[in-house]
Structure 1
Amino acid sequence: MKICTITCHDVYNHGASLQAYGLMKYLSNCGHDVEIIDYKPDYLSNHYNLWSINNPKWEKNMLTKALYLTLKIPVRIRERNKKIAFDNFTTKFLKITKSRYKSNEDLKKNTPHADAYLCGSDQIWNCLHKNGKDPSFYLDFVPDEKIKASYAASFATDTISEAYKPVVKERVERLDAVGIREKSGVEILHSMNIHEAVHVVDPVFLLDKEDWDPIGTRGFKEDYILIYDFDSSHLIKKIAMEIAKEKGYKIYTIHSGKLKYADKYFTLDGPETFVSLVKNAQFVISNSFHAAVFSVLYERQFAIVNRTEAINTRMRDLLEDLKLNDRLVDENYDLIRLLRSIKYKESKNILNEKISFSKNYLQGVLSIKK
């Protein structure tokens, strides 16, 4: 069967790239012909723009603009190495449509051919951002006679604004099947009287460790704690420093930002290095959902801290589902308990049942007769 998926696949974020690969690769392993729609609206297309001015106060006149760019461009030139790393991953591992689309109207005018269309995974329905309000991520462009469903779509929050509920309800009800990544997302749809939605796993979990090993091939010579921190979190730093002192581990980080306490920085590396770093870490400390996902996949020791942005339901729901609640920590953490080896047997049994359900969901979707 020819399948097209649509997601935020090209936003220079490790989790976004890897979840796009996970769904594409799993469906390909099942014998399907799969392409990711190269959907790049303007609001997802301004990454690593050398000439953009992101702060309005610098747009007053030509002099302030010139000063702003003089300060920013050298840093941006250096950071373009990260763009190159992600672009290389996309070229090497993601099968993308030949045509690029910039709007829902573009997709309607020249809809990529497929028998079935899947929207997801990741935060495609997060109404705090433009993608959650974009009809393309609800498959609005797909003709009625084609199979259209979501797989592991995420709202990323416990609730959505009342202002958006009517349009979300209308768009979701048009789908033939609805697979949601968080149980809180299923509850959001239940509140709109959409009761057919089911809870499925992130597409990273559709692949075994052996499927991910060809991605994470990089090795490291010393024991280390991996930090993946979007907020320059004081709590993450505190935990990392204590564990490093207790265990004698080095501290590595992969996310760019203001973090200054690491021994090694991989801030310009792409998704292959991310997988390699999680795979080989002695301990992972993060506020990233996909850091948690890959830590579970590779059965690493890890701790997750809440983000400052209100998108923490993803981590909470995942860890609750797998009975790993104690891995979500706050200022009252117990270092001794945190350093105890995670007993993954029960969690993996739960996860395997969820994976089986999710694969059956996809099989059912692709068997729909239109």
Structure 2
Amino acid sequence: MKVAIISYTESRNPGAQLQSHALQTAIKKRYSFVEKCVHIQHRIFDTTIVPQRKGAKGFVTKLFYILTFSPRKRGVERYKKFQEEHILLSNICLEENELEKLNDEFDLFISGSDQIWSCNKGIHKPFFLTFVKDNSKKNSYGASMGMEFIPDEYKDDFISYIGSYNKISVREYTTKLFLEKYLENKEISVVCDPVFLLDIEYWKTLFENNPIIKEPYIFVYSTQMSNLFKKAIRKIQDDTGCLVVTSRPLPFLRCKVVYDMGPLEFLNYEYYASYIVSTSFHSIAFATIFHKELYCIPHSTRSSRPINLLNCLGINRVIKDVKEIDYSPINYEKVEAVKSEMVSNAYMFLDEILNQK
């Protein structure tokens, strides 16, 4: 059997690349009859380092990026290297006719995982497998909308495209509830993110058994630096005395800013951290895989994904006020029992779609 997956493989985001690697690796490890499993290369890897922005604010941003050019360039090279070494890709398929040729080569197509069904910038049709001619070949694994609702202007196409799938699984329960309102005759499964399909021992084989940061530290990975987020970091640093390691500058804190982080460095920072503070789904996910003390600060508009994950795992670490910060250790024995069931259910779904031929 030959399997083609479509996801965010070209993204300079550690979670996007690591989940792409995870699904591909999990399929190859478990299903010996899968002779080929690739990610469809439908976009060119973005090597832009200095963003082109207009106005006074844009000028300041460009200047800042120029001043940090060397480490940022190193970070881009690390993402590109990870993609080349750890994600098996198809030939480049940028045009519709190039994607259509894949119909003759592959027996099964999978959308996912991650926010491939987000419509905040419109519908990217390849993520919905619109180029696949045989609907029985269309499946999704852990797809996410990445937003709370679908704008009305995209809703009809969104539902129509997903309604053509053979088997559908999503990552968040909220996505399942949304789809079930419109696809009454379709069974919608909820499965865990692909990073959970590989255990801690596997992930440790990817990065060096040596911490990049030698002293105790708080790893901060954020997609939004809200006032609450900054207050939480300041409190945890004041209480623990730990260094803050972050990919974005945090004024007035003792911190080390890492502009050159790639996926493997991200794993190293997560694994050796004393504490993790994040708004990011995959940062929270790996914190639970590595049994870290973690704190999730809700994003103002995209908080449902990590909160849904923590609720599923029974971890009460969503901070809405700094007074809620708790240093009692997380009971990871209970968390592992829940994760074990999640992974078992996920493989049951993969069994269904991969054993159908």
Same fold (TM > 0.5)? yes
Tell whether 2:249 aligns with 1:261. no
Structure 1 residues 167-206: Cα deviation after superposition (integer angstroms, max 9, x where no partner): 1111111111001000000011011134411100000001
1:160-309 to 2 correspondences below 5 Å:
160-194=150-184, 195-220=186-211, 221-253=214-246, 255-256=247-248, 261-308=253-300
CA–CA separation in structure 2 for the residues paired with 1:258 and 1:2: 47
**C-alpha deviation, 1:142, in angstroms:** 1.5
Name the amino acid aligned to 1:201. C
| Secondary structure in structure 2 of the residue aligned to 1:328 | coil
**C-alpha deviation, 1:311, in angstroms:** 1.8
CA–CA separation in structure 2 for the residues paired with 1:71 and 1:215: 32
CA–CA separation in structure 2 for the residues paired with 1:154 and 1:307: 16
Tell whether 2:342 aligns with 1:342. no
CA–CA separation in structure 1 for the residues paired with 2:63 and 2:318: 42
Match of 1:123 among 108, 115, 132: 115
1:313 alignment counterpart: 304
Contact 1:124 1:154 in 2 (8 A): yes
**C-alpha deviation, 1:27, in angstroms:** 0.7
CA–CA separation in structure 2 for the residues paired with 1:347 and 1:296: 8
Residues 49 and 251 of structure 1: is their aligned pair in 2 closer, same or farther, counting only changes over 3 Å?
Answer: closer
Residues 149 and 333 of structure 1: is their aligned pair in 2 closer, same or farther, counting only changes over 3 Å?
Answer: farther
Residues 359 and 262 of structure 1: is their aligned pair in 2 closer, same or farther, counting only changes over 3 Å?
Answer: farther
Structure 1 residues 136-180: Cα deviation after superposition (integer angstroms, max 9, x where no partner): 001111220762200000002232223222111111111110010
Task: Give % identity.
Answer: 24
Residues 77 and 280 of structure 1: is their aligned pair in 2 closer, same or farther, counting only changes over 3 Å?
Answer: closer
Residues 362 and 173 of structure 1: is their aligned pair in 2 closer, same or farther, counting only changes over 3 Å?
Answer: same
Residues 70 and 211 of structure 1: is their aligned pair in 2 closer, same or farther, counting only changes over 3 Å?
Answer: closer
**C-alpha deviation, 1:134, in angstroms:** 1.3
Residues 365 and 265 of structure 1: is their aligned pair in 2 closer, same or farther, counting only changes over 3 Å?
Answer: same
1:138 alignment counterpart: 128
Q: List runs of 5+ in structure 2 lacking aligned partners.
A: none
Residues 103 and 262 of structure 1: is their aligned pair in 2 closer, same or farther, counting only changes over 3 Å?
Answer: farther
2:92 alignment counterpart: 100
**C-alpha deviation, 1:267, in angstroms:** 2.2
1:61 alignment counterpart: none
Contact 1:11 1:47 in 2 (8 A): no
Structure 1 residues 11-40: Cα deviation after superposition (integer angstroms, max 9, x where no partner): 100110111011011011122321111110
| Secondary structure in structure 1 of the residue aligned to 2:267 | helix
| Secondary structure in structure 2 of the residue aligned to 1:227 | strand
Q: List runs of 5+ in structure 1 lacking aligned partners.
A: 59-63
Residues 104 and 93 of structure 1: is their aligned pair in 2 closer, same or farther, counting only changes over 3 Å?
Answer: same
Name the amino acid aligned to 2:340. N
